[in-house]
Amino acid sequence: MLFRGSSIIDILVTIAVVLISLSVRQTAHGYMAYILGDDTAKSMGRLSLNPLKHIDIIGFLMMLVAGFGWANAVPVNMYRFKNPKKGMALTSLAGPVSNILLALICCFAIYILAKFNIYNEILFYFLQMMFYANTSLAMFNLIPIPPLDGSKILFALLPDRYYSKLMYLERYGFIILILIINTPIFNRVLSNGVYNLQKALISFVEIFIH
């Protein structure tokens, strides 16, 4: 999410959107891991919506000014899962799913407020920014390039003989991601994905709210 506003409202809304979105996302990762048998995140106090538990200050500032950033990753011990590959994939998937659900909630809220002619400029702006930010976060992290969640989901579908090798290469994924993040093809794929996700969520909401 690229911060473009200059007013105090723009700044406050942007900060709130980033803090809420990243906190929900990281908590979802940790809670899914806990459900599947890994209590590492719980024991470290990371099953919390408190932003201070999750925010990396450099990643947070990058999100505000450049539209690309990160949070402190929730610690996960995949070997505590009954099925490490499946557990890691589901734990990774929980992040994008949480962002999609958050975007869906905001979309419902926008339509309900509009239906009953309840209008507050700041509230609508916040909900719209939440919708855009969370659909963007979801699609961005589903791209199968380490260390994004999509890579762990993809790796889990591969045979075991490839899995460990690809997990080893994950340490170089961030460099690859930095190199391609501003290429036209990457931006095109991401933009199309975000647009189609937003369109699908809006269509879903319109089924229930006329």
Place of tokens 């090798």: 165
Q: Say whether pTM exceeds 0.95.
A: no
Q: In sequence order, what are the beta bridge partners of 55?
A: 71
Q: Is the dihedral of CA 74, 77, 80, 82 positive or negative?
A: positive
Nearest to 98 by CA among 66, 63, 54, 58: 54
Determine the pLDDT at residue 8.
87
Determine the pLDDT at residue 41.
94
∠ Cα 199 19 192 (to 5°) = 25
If one counts every other C-beta atom within 10 angstroms of the C-beta of residue 132, the result is: 16
Determine the pLDDT at residue 65.
73
Determine the pLDDT at residue 3.
44
User: What is the mean pLDDT of each successive set of 10 residues along the chain, which is 210 residues long?
Assistant: 63 91 95 96 93 87 73 91 92 97 98 92 95 95 88 83 69 79 88 97 93
- Count Cβ atoms within 10 A of the Cβ of residue 109 and give its class: 0-12 exposed, 13-18 middle, 19 or more buried: middle
Q: H helices then E strands: how many in the chain?
A: 9, 0
Please, how many CA atoms are within 13 Å of residue 19, restricted to the half-sphere of its CB?
A: 14
What span, in angstroms and rounded, lies between the C-alpha atoms of 34 and 76? 9
Place of tokens 């500032």: 61
Question: HEC profile for 41-95?
Answer: HHHCCCCCCCHHHCECHHHHHHHHHHCCCCECCCCCCHHHCCCHHHHHHHHHHHH
Determine the pLDDT at residue 1.
43
